[in-house]
Amino acid sequence: MEYDILNRIHTPEDVKSLSREEVYTLAAQIRAFLREKVLVTGGHLASNLGVVELSIALHRVFRSPHDHILFDVGHQSYVHKILTGRADRFDTLRTPGGLSGFTKRSESEHDPFGAGHASTSVSAALGFAEADRLAGSDAYTVAVLGDGAYSGGLVHEALNNCKKKLNLIIILNENEMSISPNTGVYATQISRIRNSEEYYRVKRGVSCLLQKIPLVGGSLFRLTARLKHTIKVLVYGSNYFEDLGLYYLGPVDGNDYDMVERVLTEAKLTGRTTLVHIKTTKGKGYAPAEAEPERWHGVLPPGADIHRNFSACMGEALCALAEQHGDLCAITAAMSDGTGLEPFRKRFPDRFFDVGIAEGHAVTFAAGLAAAGLRPVFAVYSSFLQRAYDNILHDVALQGLPVMLCVDRASLSGGDGPTHHGIYDVALLNTVPGMEIYAPATFDRLRDFLRQGYERALPCAIRYPNDAEFPLTDFLTMDVLRYDFAGKNPDKVVITYGKIVTEALRARDEAEFGIILLEKLAPYGRCADEIRRILPEGCRRVLFLEEGIYAGGAGMLLREQFPEIADFRILAIKDSFADGVAGQTLYESCGISYRTILEELDR
């Protein structure tokens, strides 16, 4: 497709200058552009195809960056990026140093708040709106919230704190989960009437007229409003948002541009904190994505290595364990497919729980199950586990409850970047008394640790990357580690765990040193005992290599166990959120690549 109109769009002002016919053409060109680019780079496709009309309307009705537009999660912000001058960078999408797959403050003035994790937009938007109120600003703040993110408790905490009169507009984009009781043909017709331009005009006119009646106008207006609300509750039932004091508009067809622009314009005129409820189709305009929106939610670039990974193995192993133990349960926070739990969901539906995007609740819920005599396993991405630290510490560990955490994506995330790097979980879990931490290198070892975790009945975490087994052909296996000294007595040894062992193996192609791969981290005293048993007598330098943060990491805690080794160095991620650098691998930009390993060993 020719991008004649899209190529003219460099700022939101360019969007405002378009005719209505050009807007429709722009929407079609954006969808074609997204398909062309995202199917090459990989990324979130279906969700962005669904919000094309909404994103265009946002930039025609509001004035970014004066008005603040916040996207929850940010994975549906690609159209927003296109409309704010970043279309020419889409070839670099989700690459180190390239265009982020989420909103990012350092990337553009039109990204007022960075995202990547769900359910944060309303809290942040409320902060912007209150700040503008205190400053006397006329700016609007708009939060775009998906129905998936709406399941997170943080959203409801923020809604509970929203004042009635703020320049705050919350857009609830419903595309999968039905949360509205207004279904059927009659409700659809009423919705069309309520969201017509004439309805809004008459409603404002009547309200203005009533309030102008001398002496009784204000009272009459309030009485009419209460009567209207009472009748509506009797006919439709109570509306959660209106019960919270929000002004509610919708639901409207979020893929009908005219309706979307009209309802957003009306939202600006209410003078109140308003919730706009729209319904969109994920994958709109691309038949495969419309038919299977979950499959096309996130796509991989062509040629990506789709191999059997730890997630799939964990799901299968957990099913096998559940066949033997009827008290074993599985929990996910809206990630059953990504964490490998989909087979468990199908085979053991009564013992499977999807709590939505609510990781803190998931952990405390697991603690409740465990306290009641069941054996829960919570499978969660490393970067999302961070949100449940208090629950792990207070509700699980303090009570010594047998909750097993399967920590997925425990490594650097090349595509999703800093918001999804699994580099903090070890340092986080190290602070939890009694927590055992496993790091299997093979699928067989993962199965063993799942079984051990069940049998030991203690709080534990099993961490692994989104990858295949590690190539460890010549490694000898012990209880908590593997090692390979190449049949020699090396004077230098690299100790590591997790996926980064591949960098150590690459470095050893160019130098001689031994490698110790830990498969159980905490308790660290046990690791130290086993390392001490095999460490060569002539070893004069130990380098601990860690694909995680330096402060509080495994390297720091293990070094305390070896006061007798004077030259014990740590190579880890220091003082950085590991934001990639263009032209470098993430290992290079974090200073933990095979080249850095060689440099440290030679110093």
- Check 60, 279, 284, 387 and give the catalytic one: 387
Please count the CA atoms within 13 angstroms of the CA of 537 that sit on its side-chain side.
0
The answer to whether 282 is a known catalytic residue is: yes
Residue 307 CA, chain-centre distance (Å), reads: 23
The answer to whether 242 is a known catalytic residue is: no
Burial class (CB in 10 A: 0-12, 13-18, 19+), 126: buried
The whole-angstrom separation of Cα 235 and Cα 233 is 5
The whole-angstrom separation of Cα 392 and Cα 431 is 11
- Check 53, 359, 436, 519 and give the catalytic one: 359
> What are the structure tokens assigned to 592, written together?
């933990």
Burial class (CB in 10 A: 0-12, 13-18, 19+), 562: middle
Kindly report the number of other CB atoms within 10 A of residue 473's CB atom: 5
- Check 35, 37, 262, 282 and give the catalytic one: 282
Q: Check if the beta carbon of residue 597 is closer than 8 Å to that of residue 507.
A: yes
Residue whose structure tokens are 């192993």: 317
The whole-angstrom separation of Cα 305 and Cα 584 is 20
The whole-angstrom separation of Cα 498 and Cα 379 is 18
DSSP code of residue 87: G
> What are the structure tokens assigned to 449, written together?
């640790």
The answer to whether 359 is a known catalytic residue is: yes
The whole-angstrom separation of Cα 112 and Cα 142 is 11
- In angstroms, the Cα distances linking 365 to 344, 405, 460 are 18, 13, 16
The catalytic site residues sit at 282, 359, 387
